[in-house]
Amino acid sequence: QVQLVESGGGSVQAGGSLRLSCEISGYTYSTYCMAWIRQTPGREREGVAGVDGDGNPTYADSVKGRFTASWDREKNVLSLQMNSLKPGDTAMYYCAAVGGGYCYTLGPADSDSGYWGQGTQVTVSS
């Protein structure tokens, strides 16, 4: 069993920065993709960034160059540094441990698959 607890969300003006953290408890297999996934009302959950078992990050096109994901295995913490935030980044952000292949697609995400945190809200105002 894997438990995930997100923190670090909040409200910020466009152009600002936030850092999300996800504390991980339980065993995380190297085959997992540790992912950040976001959802806005009325839309599917979509992948933002993922880190595979080798520590390689991947990103959705919409956040490349602005977001940086990392997975500290010693501290068991997944992080997402978000810079140059835009109003379009406003969403509930979830930390998830899902199948490894997801890191290479970052498409719509099924919350019935894998392990998920409760989410943390990010609001970016213009």
How far does CA 84 lie from the centroid of its chain? 16
- Per-residue pLDDT of the chain (126 residues), as tens digits, is 899 999 999 999 999 999 999 999 988 778 899 999 999 988 899 999 999 999 999 999 999 999 999 999 899 999 999 999 999 999 999 999 999 899 999 999 888 889 999 999 999 999
Contact yes or no for 49/69 (Cβ under 8 A): yes
Contact yes or no for 119/96 (Cβ under 8 A): no
Residue 12 makes CB contacts below 8 A (sequence gap 6+) with 18, 85, 122, 123, 124, 125
pLDDT at 30: 80
Dihedral of CA atoms 66, 45, 28, 105 in degrees, nearest 10, equals -70
